[in-house]
Amino acid sequence: MPGINPKTYEAAPSRKVAFLGLGVMGYPMAGHLAHAGHQVTVYNRTTSKSIAWCTEFAGAAALKHAPTPRGAATDADIVFCCVGNDDDLRAVTLGAEGAFAGMAPGAIFVDHTTASADVARELFAAAKNLGLQFIDAPVSGGQAGAQNGQLTVMCGGEAAAFEAVRPVAMAFARAFTLLGASGAGQLTKMVNQICIAGMVQGLAEAIAFGAKAGLNMAQVLEVIGKGAAQSWQMDNRGKTMVAGQFDFGFAVDWMRKDLGLVLDEARRNGAQLPVTALVDQFYADVQQLGGQRWDTSSLIKRLR
């Protein structure tokens, strides 16, 4: 699993925190919390990963791992979470061994999973009934952002809980912003994914077009990247797309999951998303090519 690149951490009192889910994102996020001096208890479905994490970050702070979400959440002031989808999120929060069962009244659950706005509101209500607080807080910035502690975090929930969490979460974030009531963080992440889908497809088409026209696309990207066509995707994925390299973090399978959430929400609210729906089908084509774990820039594989 990826480690971290330590940064200069904002001064914040040491807190007892838990982190549930040590995947590509959660592993380094929890690592930054440890390096910032917080007392961290981790839980992961595969226990060996929790043990590996404790070994890697030993000495940074008081660290331990727990066999259940409830065990990890016991005595924690803040419980952070980053798992796969709505069902995974319910599995680690609800039930006799879920985190909510171990949290003390007033403790805060911060969910970094990209999930539905509906599940965010559902768990916000469940937490409130137990005297707990819940913030939906999906992230953007990918694996590199997690490793460098430079994630953009989009939050929904109550202001008091947000303000209590912010100084701690800045250990792994560059921006941590409250955007509205419960569910607003997830809805904002959907906006983010709509933008990315369109930009990556446009970049893929541009590179494929230029290559067929006989242009040196590395040189072309260097030139147009200084003008109005510049974007994060061009700066960070343009050259790797030209080189046919697609092993840079966020996978096609996960993007399709996210776009499914977007399209479900659009059906409910009446938004028209013709480009997003089309790009979702293009990602389905990439999956059929065997690219389930390729990164999202692999859209260009359809065009070559």
Tell me the catalytic residues. Answer: 189
For helices 184-212 and 232-243, the axis angle rounded to 10 degrees is: 50
Query: Nearest to residue 185, comparing CAs of 207, 206, 162, 217?
Result: 162
Q: What are phi and psi of 173, to 5 degrees?
A: -120, 155
Name the amino acid, one letter, at 32: H
Strands of the sheet with 173-178, listed across from one edge: 139-140, 151-155, 173-178
Burial 202-228 (b: 16+ CB within 10 A, else e): bbbebbbebbeeeeebeebbeeeeeee
Strands 151-155 and 63-65, by their bridges, are: unpaired
In Å, how far are 93, 105, 124 from 87, measured between CA atoms? 10, 24, 15
Name the amino acid, one letter, at 89: L
CA dihedral 293→88→68→33, nearest 10 degrees, is 60
